[in-house]
Amino acid sequence: MHDGIKNISLPKWAIDETNMVGGLDLLGLRNVAQTISNHCLNGITTISPQVRYLGIRSWFIQIYEKCGLADSYSPFLDFTSKIESTVAIGTILYKPNIVGVVGSTLAKEIIDESNGQINVKRLVQQLVLNMYTGPSIDLGICWNRDSGITGLTKERGLPLASLLMDKVQNTDLVKRVLKEKKVETFSRDELIELGQILSVDEIPEDERELLLDIVIPTEPRPSGWNNDIRRIATYTFLLQLADDNQALPAIDDYFNAISRPSKYSDSHLKEILNGWHCYLIRDALAVAHENALQFVVDEMNVDPQKTSTRDRIIKEVISD
């Protein structure tokens, strides 16, 4: 979050598992590696990797449709940002110490400042609705429409949304929303009832099975296997690695294994291993370039008033 000066930090709900590295990137060389990684493994988001949000997002779309509101993005965004708020506030009321809830910082402030009734409002700039659009499209849960409101696919999106709707449709909050067709003010009890059902860290077994079949499907979608097959291959390799090690593989385990592909000679994995090899090569080039550029800048900053020749800078960088 921006503090008004020049310091930027992650919001408290974001899960940060990054490894800090030195270097200076002026050319965006990491973009190439990122494009390759997205090609090899789609359908994920890293800012808040809570898989249940895929289903919750699809439910947002369905409840808006059931309210019979305008097929226009502006009212949809206003409605969805508030219904998303009810899930976040309700979840935190139900489980105060939960982590990974998008909007938890402002949600806690609203809870602390409210008595019996809580007036819901948009909690974050980057909504779950938007964060999970790309992964939802990659996974065949939804598709883009001219109105800007993503539609739910009948093969994956509708079953997922309907499964969640079945769980929440008899809650007092959802019954009120469907009747009043607006999201405004709710009691703590109404919010807790919803949050208890839609807590992002608890996935019911029937929902888990459906999500697994979406992430690693056994049948192709109508458009074919194209968007799914590389994801399936990557997860196949990860599962093979976990079985070999009898432990969850860390990222270093994954890339060390990719660097020694002869052990995994199955022809079905050849293409995906080649893809991840390309990723490693481009990422290594980016890291090397970033570090070299940082060395150059550091050397020039030793005496900013002094004009440095190319040969002298190269000599100093090499000697370091």
Q: Concatenated DSSP letters for 243-305?
A: HHHTSPPPHHHHHHHHT-GGG---GGGHHHHHHHHHHHHHHHHHHHHHHHHHHHHHHHHTSTT
pLDDT at 5: 39
In the three-class reduction of DSSP (H, G, I as helix; E, B as strand; rest coil), residue 98 is classed as coil
**Band (11; pLDDT cuts 50, 70, 90):** low
Cα torsion angle, 181, 182, 185, 190, sign: positive
Mean pLDDT of 194-223: 93
- Sorting pLDDT into bands at 50, 70 and 90, what band is 7? very low
Convert the pLDDT of each residue in 241-262 to its tens digit: 899 889 999 988 888 888 876 6
Q: Calculate mean pLDDT across residues 87-113.
A: 95
What Rg value do the Cα atoms of the chain yield, rounded?
24
Give the percent of the chain with pLDDT over 70: 89
Task: pLDDT band for 204, please (50, 70, 90 cuts).
Answer: very high
Q: Label the pairing between strands 117-119 and 142-143.
A: unpaired
Identify the band that residue 48 occupies on the pLDDT scale cut at 50, 70 and 90.
low
For the four alpha carbons of 60, 63, 67 and 71, in that order, the dihedral sign comes to positive
Residues 6+ apart with CB under 8 A from 309: none
What mean pLDDT is predicted for residues 153-160? 96
Q: How far apart are CA 21 and CA 19, in angstroms?
A: 6
Q: Tell me what pLDDT residue 305 has.
A: 76
pTM: 0.82
- Condensed to tens digits (0 to 9), the pLDDT of residues 269-288 reads 888 999 999 999 999 999 88
User: Exposed, middle or buried by CB within 10 Å (0-12, 13-18, 19+), for 72?
Assistant: exposed
